[in-house]
């Protein structure tokens, strides 16, 4: 194993890690806002990938351009899911935690079933997109362009999210609602509206990630499941509800995955991620950046 191989895989790991962060941040945002884990998060990703695929296949819109459209579609989906399902799950009089898990998990199963019914179980891909298959060489390291683009979008999204939460009225309403949902009602903020927009925003972020991933991953009804588990690990590693934690968690997960792949057979590359995750939460039960 040469130094170049190591640097090369760490660089790819970093790019993938930023994308993992982007997949996970919506989950972290929603959890931070209302203590709900969305167990259909992977299916949101799957849907975004299909949206991108169909825009490409039927309208020849390149994933680069359709990313905002996928994000918008997912924004609507997220808000609707909150208004139709999650809102009622939060009102449950018994077993609230359980109800949230199973209501969103049931939704995940329905979405997978719908995908199989309407899109079939075939593996799809977006061939010959503008960046697809192209690499760029930086100081002797080859970086695949779609992944590089994804990483840049992820950084931009995190920056934008930071400004959004800290600088806009809606961001402040979001922050206030998360701190004290009862008190915000007194100053005239509609809690349900904030929550619905929060869900929309969280889903839009994973929509962005799905659009980028559509150009270098196969698209099929169960594609969300494997990425969802990585997203949960990313969020738990960074600390549930911490947006910065999701960003840092994503980078760690990407780097650990790349390192594991250097030492262990490829089929075991996720073991490294899971082991590091367990190690972190056993030492810090609330993740790296979670509040205690």
| 8/116 with CB nearer another protein | 116
| 199/232 with CB nearer another protein | 232
Of 4, 57, 76, 102, the residue at the interface with another protein (CB under 8 A) is 102
Placement of tokens 């349900």 in the chain: 192
Query: Which tokens in the block code for residue 102?
Result: 């199973």
CB–CB of 259/272 below 8 Å? yes
14: left (phi over 0), alpha (psi -120 to 50) or beta: alpha
| 146/290 with CB nearer another protein | 290
Interacting residues of 73 by C-beta distance below 8 A, sequence separation 6+? 47, 48, 51, 207
Q: Which stretch binds another protein (CB under 8 A): 7-15, 61-69, 125-133, 265-273?
A: 265-273
Site residues (CB under 8 A) for another protein, limited to 197-236:
221, 225, 229, 232-233, 236
CB–CB of 103/86 below 8 Å? yes
Q: Which stretch binds another protein (CB under 8 A): 13-21, 117-125, 182-190, 210-218?
A: 117-125
Main-chain phi, psi angles of 143, to 5 degrees: -115, 130
CA distance 30 to 112: 22
Of 112, 158, 202, 238, the residue at the interface with another protein (CB under 8 A) is 112
CB–CB of 231/246 below 8 Å? no
CA distance 130 to 137: 17
Nearest approach, Cβ of residue 170 and another protein (Å)? 26
| Site map (CB under 8 A) of another protein, residues 34-73, x = contact | ---x------------------------------------
CA distance 273 to 38: 21
Nearest approach, Cβ of residue 167 and another protein (Å)? 30
Residues that bind another protein (CB under 8 A): 31, 37, 85, 88-89, 92-99, 101-103, 105-117, 120-121, 221, 225, 229, 232-233, 236, 240, 265, 267-268, 270-271, 274-275, 277-278, 281-282, 285-287
């Amino acid at each position: 194993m040469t130094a170049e191989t190591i640097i090369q895989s760490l660089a790819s790991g970093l790019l993938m890690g930023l994308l993992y962060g982007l997949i996970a941040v919506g989950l972290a945002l929603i959890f931070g806002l209302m203590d709900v884990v969305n167990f259909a998060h992977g299916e949101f990703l799957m849907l975004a990938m299909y949206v991108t695929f169909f825009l490409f296949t039927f309208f020849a819109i390149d994933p680069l351009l359709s990313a905002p459209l996928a994000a918008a579609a997912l924004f609507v989906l997220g808000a609707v899911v909150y208004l139709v399902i999650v809102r009622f799950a939060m009102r449950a009089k018994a077993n609230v935690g359980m109800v949230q898990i199973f209501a969103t998990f049931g939704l995940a199963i329905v979405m997978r079933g719908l995908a199989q019914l309407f899109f079939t179980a075939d593996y799809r891909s977006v061939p010959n997109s503008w960046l697809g298959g192209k690499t760029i060489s930086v100081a002797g390291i080859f970086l695949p362009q779609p992944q590089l683009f994804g990483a840049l979008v992820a950084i931009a999204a995190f920056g934008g999210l930071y400004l959004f939460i800290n600088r806009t009225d809606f961001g402040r309403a979001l922050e206030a609602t998360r701190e004290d949902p009862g008190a915000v009602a007194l100053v005239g903020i509609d809690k349900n509206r904030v929550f619905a927009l929060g869900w929309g925003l969280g889903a839009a972020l994973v929509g962005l990630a799905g659009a980028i991933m559509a150009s270098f991953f196969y698209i099929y009804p169960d594609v969300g499941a494997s990425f969802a588990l990585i997203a949960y690990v990313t969020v738990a590693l960074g600390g549930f509800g911490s947006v910065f934690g999701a960003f840092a968690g994503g980078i760690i997960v990407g780097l650990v995955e790349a390192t594991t792949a250097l030492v262990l057979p490829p089929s075991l590359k996720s073991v490294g991620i899971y082991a590091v995750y367990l190690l972190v939460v056993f030492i810090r039960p609330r993740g790296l950046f979670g509040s205690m």
